[in-house]
Structure 1
Amino acid sequence: MLSGRSHMVGVVIGGLDNPFYASALERLAIALRQAGLQVLLVQVDDALTLDTALDQLASYRIDAVVTSLAVGSQSVVQALSELHTPVICFNSSFVGPWISTVVSNNYGAGQIAAQIFIKHGVTHPVWLAGPAKNAASRARGEGFCDTLKETSDCFGKLVRLRGDDTYQSGYNAIRRLLQRGLRPDGIFSSNDMMACGVLDALRECADLRCPDDVIVLGYDNIPQAAWHGYDLTSFDQRTDQMVTVAMDMLNEALQTVNHPYSQTHTINAQLIERGSTRTGR
């Protein structure tokens, strides 16, 4: 597949404290090795975007870049394109010459989350977003809020909170909400790490239980979501399929030597319903 090339692919990693990224990295590394490629790991501090890896990527002789991170801006699209090296991303809202992305259907999952809220008769919903520059989080929130606005009176009571994708930020966000005397009956969190913090805060700060008092949904379906202490309903990004598509894109990109390759492929997330929303247990 890589005749006349270095046989080396740069894998940009960040945010490994989140099990989703660790799982994606493991699957990527296995798939690349099975394809006979060497893996060069490039560590970045920013867990959301490739922006901080530009200088490192430019200094290595690599045939391509594969990463679970996103491109953060149009200026970075231009800089990456000037490298003339195929880049395959996960959940990037920016693409361009030489840059492709495999995305979870974040907006569609947000719509499904809103429909679950409506089904459960939620009257005081909460949307817990990730960092503002997290494009996937923004799309989830847009799908969720747009659907509530179009189909439910509860949109008028929607509370928007923001965390930084960590457990502690989810815990703190809900603790502060409860301290203000507000009691939600439905919470959609942009990721599972924050949702786990949400569940602990609900129990410890207000003695609220799921799903009797409040329903909670997360995103990523990390292993902790299935733990008995959380039993969290979540959206699975189907990482195996994302990696398979990314490898197909990589193969095609490397076959089109000296020609920019750019594709976007969307994969529907799978709802994994557990006790945090399942009634009648």
Structure 2
Amino acid sequence: MSRTRPPSSIAVARLAGVSQSAVSRTFTPGGIVSPATRAKVLAAASTLGYRPNLLSRSLTTGRSGIVAVAVGGLSNPFHAMALDCFATGLQRRGQQVMLVVVEDEWALGSAVELLSGYQVDAVLSSLSVNARDVAEALTRFGVPIVTMNSSVTNRWVRTVAADDHEAGAAIAKHLYGQGARRFGYIAGRSGTLAQERREAGFRQGLAEFGITDCERAQGNHLHSGGAASVRALYASGTGPDGLFCLNDLTAMGAIDALRVEFGLRCPEDVLVAGYDNIDGSAWPPYRLTTVDVGLDRVAAEAFALIEEEDGGPPEVLVQPRLVLRASTRS
């Protein structure tokens, strides 16, 4: 059975009584065409069922209109939230989304190398780049790459981040103001910008009250890491009464372990705060005090950066928002 070929721009031009270049300009973002011509072209395209070929357009404009979104760690709801925010925002801008799932920053380089064959205009990622050799490898592809919370940037690799240091300090002041006097911090992977800034800000905030002792446990960004960290912090029988966790998923695991394994109440016995403001943080079993990074603002700044093909700031900071809930008696 023979397949019917899709209608071409030539057929649309003939039906509309305009030139082929007028059809091309009509379907090119920013293309200059009169309202009357645009109306005739769109009517003809609708009649014929015509859809522009994005790959063919890239041959003449040098831009495909495709932005790759590279995500990893989708077991953490924050990355799924970031993906949704990036993809929705790009589509509203008239750009197409190519989704790439990678394990970590080291896999980002091989992913971008593959993507370069598809002539993507830019790459967005909720992953961070923290190794200089990874950042240098990414520059080979000559497309803007915007990440979140990267400690290494260059001409092509830029980052958008929340002011994690300020947010960590705000959490410390809040916990102290709510009556906590023995403090603990559950960390994430070492060497990441978000981890370093959040912990440094938290400790600086405590230092303003003359507090230098803060117990520390190593988490894994997941619910299981929060629970395991609580076992380590409370094994002696006396643990922190004010606990800050690197992210919400860790904090939720910590709250579950405190209640189920140690019989401790939150917030009556232990105040717990997280970070990210994922949907689950507001669920009744947790009602978690957290920090909202403002993903809409992060995405808007990222979209601005991918338009800066040469230049632009290496890092853009957005101001996060403290969200107070019942886990800290708020």
User: Match for 1:152 among 198, 209, 226?
Assistant: 209
Deviations for 1:219-272, whole angstroms, at most 9, x for unmatched residues? 000111100000100000111111111112223x2xx4xx35543211111111
Q: Report if aligned partners of 2:155, 2:314 keep a CA contact under 8 Å in 1.
A: no
Deviations for 1:140-168, whole angstroms, at most 9, x for unmatched residues? 0011112223x234323x10111000001
Larger-Rg structure: 2
User: Match for 1:272 among 318, 323, 326?
Assistant: 323
Q: How far apart, in 2, do the equivalents of 1:222 and 1:173 lie?
A: 20
Q: How far apart, in 2, do the equivalents of 1:233 and 1:126 lie?
A: 15
Deviations for 1:170-209, whole angstroms, at most 9, x for unmatched residues? 0111023222223210000000000001111111122221
Report what 2:289 is aligned to: 233
Q: Report if aligned partners of 1:122, 1:154 keep a CA contact under 8 Å in 2.
A: no
Q: Report if aligned partners of 1:233, 1:272 keep a CA contact under 8 Å in 2.
A: yes
Q: How far apart, in 1, do the equivalents of 2:94 and 2:179 lie?
A: 53
| Structure 2: runs of 5+ lacking an equivalent | 1-28, 30-57
1:25-44 to 2 correspondences below 5 Å? 25-44=83-102
Q: How far apart, in 2, do the equivalents of 1:263 and 1:176 lie?
A: 39
Report what 2:223 is aligned to: 167
Q: How far apart, in 1, do the equivalents of 2:64 and 2:106 lie?
A: 24
TM-score (normalised: structure 2): 0.77
Shift of 1:122: 2.0
User: Match for 2:247 among 191, 194, 208?
Assistant: 191
User: Match for 2:106 among 51, 65, 73?
Assistant: 51
Report what 1:74 is aligned to: 132
1:1-281 to 2 correspondences below 5 Å? 3-46=61-104, 50-60=105-115, 61-149=119-207, 151-156=208-213, 158-251=214-307, 253=308, 256=309, 259-278=310-329
What letter is aligned with 1:276? Answer: S
TM-score (normalised: structure 1): 0.90
Q: How far apart, in 2, do the equivalents of 1:269 and 1:161 lie?
A: 24
**Kindly tell me: are residues 131 and 161 of structure 1, through their superposed partners in 2, closer, same or farther at Cα, counting changes over 3 Å?**
same
Higher mean C-alpha displacement, 87-96 vs 19-28: 87-96
| Structure 1: runs of 5+ lacking an equivalent | none
Q: How far apart, in 2, do the equivalents of 1:4 and 1:75 lie?
A: 28
Q: Report if aligned partners of 2:178, 2:329 keep a CA contact under 8 Å in 1.
A: no
What letter is aligned with 2:252? Answer: C
Q: With CA pairs under 8 Å and 6+ residues apart, which has the higher RCO, 1 or 2?
A: 1
Report what 2:11 is aligned to: none
Q: How far apart, in 2, do the equivalents of 1:164 and 1:70 lie?
A: 16
Q: Report if aligned partners of 1:216, 1:233 keep a CA contact under 8 Å in 2.
A: yes
